[in-house]
Structure 1
Amino acid sequence: MNELESILHRQRWDVYDESSAGLAQNAMHSFAMDDTLCRIASSDPERGICRTWVHGNTIVLGIQDSRLPYIEEGVRFLEDAGYRVIVRNSGGLAVVLDPGVLNVSLIFKDEKRLSIDSGYEAMCAFVREWFKEFDLVIEDREIAASYCPGRYDLSVAGRKFAGISQRRLRGGVAVQIYLAVNGSGSERAGLIRSFYEQAVNGAPVKYSYPRIDPAQMASLSEITGRPLTVEGLYHSMLLTLKGFAGRLGNMALSEADWTVYEENLDRMIKRNEKVNLL
């Protein structure tokens, strides 16, 4: 079994679904929860954890974004547009979360034999299997004019609908993907482009922020021409995951796990306090 197969094929995949409950939660919860699940997954090499999550209108900034010269004006612009703003605890730049964006985290034990790229490649393979009914040619390459561009952007005919990130800590790996299921990809991109215009305002910056072309982003509904829903894709994802699992189950956290979660959430809160977003 090669690296990619060893990541996806598990004796057990446990599902922690927050695709509905997350709508009422601050998105800081999700980053704290994935860190908690990394610690849990680190103790069992045969087990994988799949967490699904959706949040209300939120912009998740990268650490570099939070240091832009006119960040206060940029945050005010987003808040006036009806979005909550937080800073993540991992790499990457600004992304949009809303009820039409489904996030999936595949979490498993870190092993020395697994390269960083193998985690990204496993998620790409998982998505292609998941969406094979749509008969799409899904490319994994950077879409430079998208928000939060990266080597493992997923696109069809040059229009990005998903981005992948990865976090490794406490002996666990969380490979995270955001999928624009429905809604307007170009409107989301236009919002982030306007944020950068407000937060930079012509001043010199210390990193290369993306020059966004809204036409290069789309939702999966726009790409396929189908009225897709988060709920529908969640159920098809479970069927896909079942094909990689000896057993598929639901997950619950222990009291000790919740204690670890509270510690992780406190760290997220303090991070956001440092950049004056709370």
Structure 2
Amino acid sequence: MARIQSWKRGCCAGPAGLASGMEPGRDAVAECDAPPAEGAALRRLVNGFGQFRHQHFEVDEELFSRLLEGQHPEVMVIACSDSRTDPAIICGARPGDLFVVRNVAALVPPPAADGRPHGTASAIEFGVKALGVRHIVVLGHSFCAGVRCLLEHDHGTRPFDYVSDWVEVAREVREEMNGLVTDAERVLVARRAEQAALLTSLRHLAAYPFIAERVAAGRLSLHGWYFHFGWGVLQAALGPRGPFRQLDPDGPLHPAIGSAEALGRAA
């Protein structure tokens, strides 16, 4: 217990510390003391929409005409809400290519048909049952604040009302990492925990009956991808418990769960 506490010290000095994206143990400091111009961030979004119209909407009217009739994405991506890891940008996707589900740490809760509202599960169900996606990609990433928050829970740190409960979906990751960390290993274990959380979400996905049925029939494949944005590298899980290897644009695309033949049938 002492080991895992030592690497966390200073890593979650309140919500600002988690949001900084810094390595555990570094002080959370403001990058800039000067306040931004009023409305500057929103103004960039408005200007960005103008660029979108010019570069996409006006250039590819045929695509958007088809999208008016409905969406037919083949791929669902379950990604983190982190502003640095937009799956459409990372993968160069066009409008209509991806059905995207985002939440803190890209977590998938286990099946729980308890009559309560379940946002992530409902989005997954819609993508599979209504849209008929052929592939589901769980997209984790490096420097994930949600996973760091999960790792801190074993010594009582709960800086959030809702996030702290949410990340317990992957509490087995904390149990796996507990006792394995030294000060010299803090960065390595953070990366390992992020990948372990991704694999936990994959296994939870496979437990949903409507997913298991389609995987068994070769109609759906499950993939675990890990984006290290410090290196600009995208890795894929070779199985439901790893390991990970770097994805090559011209290399094989083996699902973590499901048959490789399903990829050919979906192509």
TM category, shorter: under 0.3
Higher normalized strand content (fraction of residues): 1
Question: Which has the higher Rg, Structure 1 or Structure 2?
Answer: 2
Higher relative contact order (CA closer than 8 Å, sequence separation 6+): 1
Higher normalized helix content (fraction of residues): 2
